[in-house]
Structure 1
Amino acid sequence: NHILSTQHPEHGGYVYFTPARPGHYRVYSQPNSAMWCCVGTGMENHGKYGQFIYTHSGNDSIYVNLFIAS
């Protein structure tokens, strides 16, 4: 439920991590001065969910990997 909050609403920077503590601060990347490698891969993950909803084993078994609409 924190996908939308991974991007800063004003300057567009991405959050480095989302703390589990309520009300805790977030550190966002700063455009043109601080961009972390994991920021890019974290945003890329959201676009790949469709690839990993299901998987299979051989010809007999299908597994639901992600419980999302498909």
Structure 2
Amino acid sequence: MSHILVPDHPREETARLLGQARHCRQLATAVAEDELIEQLVTLAKSYEAKAALLRASCGVNS
């Protein structure tokens, strides 16, 4: 079983992670290089996955 560190304010951390994901996706639409777009989208997915894990482990709804 894996363990994660739980932040003091999971709702705010979830919002921050989703904000970072949104920012990465916005940057991906602003660049022309395919490799960079792919990296930014992958990073956005990573932030979204972390937010989902945090929501699930802490019972954060939004």
Short-chain TM bin: 0.3 to 0.5
Tell me the TM-score normalized by structure 1.
0.30
TM-score by length of 2: 0.32
**Which structure is higher in strand share?**
1
Task: Decide which structure has the larger Cα Rg and report it.
Answer: 1
